[in-house]
Chains A and B, each alone.
Chain A
Amino acid sequence: MEGQDGYGRPIVGPVSDGDKTPAGPLDVGQPGRTVVIQLRQAISLIERFPALAGVDLTVSEGEIVLLRGPNGAGKSTLLRLCAGLAPLNGGRGEVLGHDLSSRRERRELRRQTGLLAHATFLYDELTVEENLMFWARANRLDEASVEPVLDRLALANRLRHVRVANLSAGQRRRASLAVLVCRRPRLWLLDEPHAGLDVNGRDFVDGLIKHAVAFGGTVLLASHDFDRAAEIATRTVIVAGGQVQETDPAGLGGSPEGRMARRPPVAPAPYVAPPPRWGHEPDDSPPPDPGAGSPLVGRPPRVEAAGSRLGGRATADPPRPSRAAIDGAAGNEAVADPAPEPAPADGEGDGSGTGRSGPPQPPAVGAGPGSRWRGRRRAPAESG
């Protein structure tokens, strides 16, 4: 049951001869990147209703995949399935190297994912700070990591001592985001992340997503704010009737209206998004130290290396930005790479490393042989 994806990469599917699961067409991940999510004919039931009725989806590390579809299409259930919360009742699924059909592995998976759901995941009777402290302890995180997150999300002053019950909807969303950031997940699952937020908050979410990806994260988001979400997404997946109806494998504009511009995948190596700050005030904080991690996203939790049973490759040490990449993001001249790969011919990046219009084309620092980076930039011939 092998074939090739759109890049000529072999697809290694369910290999068991006795496997009765129909292997539908796979989405195309990013070549050379670790597969983070791989679903084949995945079925998930809510009571007896098939919220997901045979989903095929592959997401590679460093991708920002936008799930688009009408209400009730199954987007939220898909996110919950990838978080290890919804059961896999049929088909096959593997996320971050964890088999979704195993209850034990789903428990392991949950620690590495972060879900921003419709529910706030906050205790109304506790203050913002108490909530963050509790969830930091529950997630075995250093309590000292809470303070920078409160600061970055503009929760450090007046709002930190306010009970969640007394917050506005947007402020609650902000507090939920703070908890999510504290978790430092490898896989960000965002269900309507822009909902209820003002323009500052939406800009912050966009910056956070780019920042997370720059620090080795992968993002799957569902949003009805399509114009905004499409700006940052590297791929759009249409979900309807509990199935993936359409996919836009290389950012070619898969929306029916053709509104989505061509968008090269975000290359995590050469681009370090500055840590976002809530609001529009000038941010004079230094660029993140790759050794210490981002003040927001930080170092993703280390996971044990494990081969994917569905063909993906798990990583033992997620990619980290190089010093040169940070210099580039800070506006300094990046250290020249001895053998830079060609930038995508169709790239929209302006080279500043800070704009929304896609990644810049700096030298592919660290992408050469022996680099810790697993990803490689697409050659022009591969793109499209």
Chain B
Amino acid sequence: MTVKDLRIELTSRVVMAQILPFGLLILILFGLAISPDLVVVGDARRPVIEEIAPGLFWLTVLLSALMALGRAFALEADDGNLDALRMAGLDPAGVFLGKALAVTVQLVAVETVLGFGAFVVFGAPVARPGLLAATVLLATVGITLAGTLYAALAAGLRVRDTLVPLLVLPVLAPVLLGATQASRDALFADPGVPGWSWAGLLAVFSLLYLGVGMLAFGPLLEES
């Protein structure tokens, strides 16, 4: 499943040619919308854009992830492939993990490029690269596991394109919060922000949706 999805991406290049430019465009628009002259009053006196850079970055990732998830299940919904998957008798947990892994790989690639873009646009330094890497990995896994589950829920519906954001964004609010806080600590080594604790929240979230997804994906695939 993972190999098939990645092979389709290599052929179609939807993620790299459409979703990635979309993310970069959003970053640039954020950069244009927020003046670099605005400064947060306080000890650090960092520019506002630098202060909110982690949140903007993860918001961009979320929007890109929505597109990637929609694309991943559009592949299956088109031409009756969901029915074919059902008829193949594949283990639903395996399908869930396979799809989530494929989206994770694609999203990590997107985030890598977006990270460089964010560095250019927002100019934020990286104080704790280890924490940043762990945050990126855990947040991405959380986004894809929860997103895959809810995208499967809407996969068989004609309104899936508009329904998936409505379902997924509220669910991913804890990921946005945790990833933003952990990234702030990773970037600025802010003593007031327990970065690893927020990373732990991301890990718990991922584990929760790993379990729920493996259990619930079968019935969802059945009903979609």
- Which residues on A are within 8 Å of B, measured CB to CB? 83-85, 103, 107-108, 110-111, 113-115, 117-126, 130, 134-135, 138-140, 163, 179, 183
A125 x B12 contact (CB < 8 A): yes
A138 x B90 contact (CB < 8 A): yes
Q: A119-B79, A121-B79 are in contact. Are A126 and B84 (CB under 8 A)?
A: no
B222 x A138 contact (CB < 8 A): no
The chain A residue sitting closest to B87, CB to CB, is A110
Q: A110-B89, A111-B89 are in contact. Are A125 and B8 (CB under 8 A)?
A: yes
Docked CA distance A125–B79 (Å): 12
Give the residue among B12, B75, B88 with the most A Cβ atoms within 10 A.
B88
Docked CA distance A222–B222 (Å): 25
Docked CA distance A120–B11 (Å): 19
A126 x B4 contact (CB < 8 A): yes
Docked CA distance A21–B78 (Å): 37
Q: Does B39 contact A (CB under 8 A)?
A: no
Q: Write the nearest CB–CB distance from A111 to chain B, whole angstroms.
A: 4
Residues of B close to A125: CB separation below 8 A: 7-8, 11-12, 75
Docked CA distance A140–B89 (Å): 9
Docked CA distance A183–B85 (Å): 12
Docked CA distance A140–B79 (Å): 22
A85 x B12 contact (CB < 8 A): no
Give chain B interface residues in 76-100, CB to chain A under 8 Å.
78-81, 83-90
Q: Mark B50-90, 1 if CB is under 8 A from A, else 0.
A: 00000000000000000000000001001111011111111
Residues of A close to B89: CB separation below 8 A: 107-108, 110-111, 139-140
Q: A123-B8, A126-B4, A163-B11 are in contact. Are A117 and B83 (CB under 8 A)?
A: yes
Residues of A close to B81: CB separation below 8 A: 119, 121-123
Residues of B close to A114: CB separation below 8 A: 87
Residues of B close to A126: CB separation below 8 A: 4, 7-8, 11
- Which residues on B are within 8 Å of A, measured CB to CB? 4, 7-8, 11-12, 75, 78-81, 83-90, 222
A120 x B79 contact (CB < 8 A): yes
Partner of A119, one of B12, B83, B90: B83
Give the residue among B78, B79, B86 with the most A Cβ atoms within 10 A.
B79
Residues of A close to B12: CB separation below 8 A: 125
The chain A residue sitting closest to B219, CB to CB, is A103
B222 x A111 contact (CB < 8 A): no
A134 x B4 contact (CB < 8 A): yes
Docked CA distance A118–B84 (Å): 12
Docked CA distance A163–B83 (Å): 21
Docked CA distance A119–B88 (Å): 16
The chain A residue sitting closest to B3, CB to CB, is A134
Docked CA distance A114–B75 (Å): 21
Docked CA distance A83–B12 (Å): 32
Q: A121-B81, A124-B79 are in contact. Are A115 and B8 (CB under 8 A)?
A: no
Q: Write the nearest CB–CB distance from B196 to chain A, whole angstroms.
A: 41
A121 x B80 contact (CB < 8 A): yes
Q: A107-B89, A120-B80 are in contact. List 4 more A-B contacts (CB 8 A).
A: A111-B88, A119-B79, A123-B75, A139-B88
Q: Write the nearest CB–CB distance from A302 to chain B, whole angstroms.
A: 15
Partner of A115, one of B11, B78, B83: B83
Docked CA distance A103–B4 (Å): 28
The chain A residue sitting closest to B84, CB to CB, is A121
A85 x B8 contact (CB < 8 A): no
Partner of A138, one of B8, B75, B80, B88: B88
B79 x A122 contact (CB < 8 A): yes
Residues of B close to A119: CB separation below 8 A: 79-81, 83
Q: Write the nearest CB–CB distance from B84 to chain A, whole angstroms.
A: 4
Q: Write the nearest CB–CB distance from B113 to chain A, whole angstroms.
A: 22
Residues of B close to A84: CB separation below 8 A: 87
Residues of A close to B85: CB separation below 8 A: 138
The chain B residue sitting closest to A119, CB to CB, is B80
B87 x A113 contact (CB < 8 A): yes
Residues of B close to A124: CB separation below 8 A: 78-79
Give the residue among A111, A114, A135, A138 with the most B Cβ atoms within 10 A.
A138
Partner of B87, one of A111, A118, A123, A140: A111
The 10 closest A-B pairs by CB, nearest first: A119-B80, A121-B84, A138-B88, A111-B89, A125-B8, A110-B87, A125-B11, A120-B79, A125-B12, A119-B79
